[in-house]
Amino acid sequence: MKALVADPIGGPENLKYIDVPAPEPKEGQALVQVEAAGVNFIDVYFRTGFYKAPETPVMLGSEGAGTVVAVGPNVSIAVGTRVAWTMARGSYAEYAAVPATALVHLPDDIGFEQGAGAMLQGMTAHYLTRSTFPLQPGQTCLVHAAAGGAGLLIVQMAKLAGARVIGTVSTEVKAQLARAQGADETILYTKQDFLEEVKRITGGNGVDVVYDSVGQTTFHKSLDCLRARGMMVSFGQSSGPVGPIDPLILSQKGSLFLTRPSLANYISDSNDLHWRASELFEWLRAGRLHLHIQKAYPLADAAQAHRDLEGRKTTGKLILLP
Ligand code: NDP
């Protein structure tokens, strides 16, 4: 089969489109013919070695959708079932051996691209807005990179929860997209001081929660955007890692809460995985949630997809087609 691997780890130029043997499904695994794979920043981190992978060359792709073509021992899912999954690596390939516990059934009326694209960032937006800081009507959140993959979905789910949404973005085009998906206010954080803008918009009160995927360039100022006892949710680092912080800062800035969550811990329980996936799919089918797929690339062109993502050129979701 064809697969896209990082060999060796490094820049996008190290991505190689090669022939490898299709994996054999082991105990507890299903072999899935991959129809679509989502592109995520986590793939960049495995490509560069920022996140360590045990195998060489490094297999990429942390979400996908396709059809089960074979199963290993002790797997009850039927061959021919349409499925989607995340947090199991190897979807940048024609076939992937996926733990059956990670698979969710993909409804017939949701396409493979939508299914693949909704899993990682969609379930992330779900756990952030429903579990990490369950938003209530009347609350206000600040969403950084609000036109990004995770960002656009957080904006929409925050609105579904009845919250007021302030989104930061780098360009006016991105601002328009975030507003079209429900953001009440947008801030061009490359031109405007987002702290001053948040203070102005909230009448000096600050926001209840910050959902921050940007990290290094936004983290510290975001703490000042919070109301007393507000929550800082630092869930990513697209601008670079945040680095160490002194817990005393949280006290000085208003008895703040800080969390650094990971999707894995919010879907490790099968009930959580299936609850989040079924709500996502229901919202997509009902038109209450829109998955903005900016571009689908052939799998062989994954390097360009990575360049676009890292270069801040993208909005919403990127997909690879094997
Ligand atoms: P995005 O689609 O949001 O792309 C990144 C965006 O970040 C860019 O479009 C850009 O938006 C903004 N950005 C700001 N500064 C930079 C910079 N220096 N370089 C690149 N981008 C920058 O990506 P994802 O939604 O896939 O992921 C965002 C982050 O969230 C990643 O760090 C990812 O690992 C993390 N994440 C964490 C999860 C978790 O469970 N903890 C789950 C999902 C994602 P703009 O141009 O508007 O500034």
Q: 110-129 pLDDT, tens per residue? A: 999 999 999 999 999 999 99
Max Cα distance, the chain (Å): 60
Instruction: Give yes or no: residues 157 and 252 share one domain.
Output: yes
Would the CB of 222 count as within 6 Å of ligand 1? Answer: no
How far is it, in rounded angstroms, from Cα 246 to Cα 95?
45
Structural domain contains residue 126 = no
Residue bearing the CA closest to ligand 1, atom 19: 239
Would the CB of 41 count as within 6 Å of ligand 1? Answer: yes
Instruction: Give yes or no: residues 158 and 85 share one domain.
Output: no
Would the CB of 88 count as within 6 Å of ligand 1? Answer: no
Rounded to the nearest angstrom, the distance between the alpha carbon of 291 and the centre of ligand 1 is: 16
Rounded to the nearest angstrom, the distance between the alpha carbon of 89 and the centre of ligand 1 is: 19
Instruction: Give yes or no: residues 170 and 250 share one domain.
Output: yes
Residue bearing the CA closest to ligand 1, atom 39: 262
Please report, in tens digits, the pLDDT of each residue of the chain (322 residues total): 999 999 999 999 999 999 999 999 999 999 999 999 999 999 999 999 999 999 999 999 999 999 999 999 999 999 999 999 999 999 999 999 999 999 999 999 999 999 999 999 999 999 999 999 999 999 999 999 999 999 999 999 999 999 999 999 999 999 999 999 999 999 999 999 999 999 999 999 999 999 999 999 999 999 999 999 999 999 999 999 999 999 999 999 999 999 999 999 999 999 999 999 999 999 999 999 999 999 999 999 999 999 999 999 999 999 999 9
Instruction: Give yes or no: residues 273 and 164 share one domain.
Output: no
Instruction: Give yes or no: residues 256 and 301 share one domain.
Output: no
Would the CB of 214 count as within 6 Å of ligand 1? Answer: yes
Domain span at 20: 2-120+267-321
Q: 149-165 pLDDT, tens per residue? A: 999 999 999 999 999 99
Would the CB of 187 count as within 6 Å of ligand 1? Answer: no
pTM of the full structure: 0.98
Instruction: Give yes or no: residues 156 and 188 share one domain.
Output: yes
CATH number at residue 29: 3.90.180.10
User: Which of residues 239, 260, 281 is at a domain's end?
Assistant: 260
**Total domains in the fold of the chain:** 2
- Pocket test of ligand 1: the residue of 156, 213, 318 to mutate, having most ligand atoms within 8 Å of its CB, is 213
The arrangement of strands across the sheet holding 15-19 comes to 15-19, 2-6, 58-59
Residue 14 Cα to chain centre, angstroms? 23
How far is it, in rounded angstroms, from Cα 61 to Cα 318?
12
pLDDT of 216: 98
CB 302 within 8 A of CB 4: yes
Rounded to the nearest angstrom, the distance between the alpha carbon of 127 and the centre of ligand 1 is: 17
* Angstrom distances, CA of residue 174 to CA of 107, 185, 219, 221: 31, 12, 21, 21
Cβ burial, residue 131 (10 Å; 0-12/13-18/19+): middle
Instruction: Give yes or no: residues 290 and 253 share one domain.
Output: no
Instruction: Give yes or no: residues 178 and 111 share one domain.
Output: no
Would the CB of 86 count as within 6 Å of ligand 1? Answer: no
Structural domain contains residue 130 = no
Instruction: Give yes or no: residues 275 and 238 share one domain.
Output: no
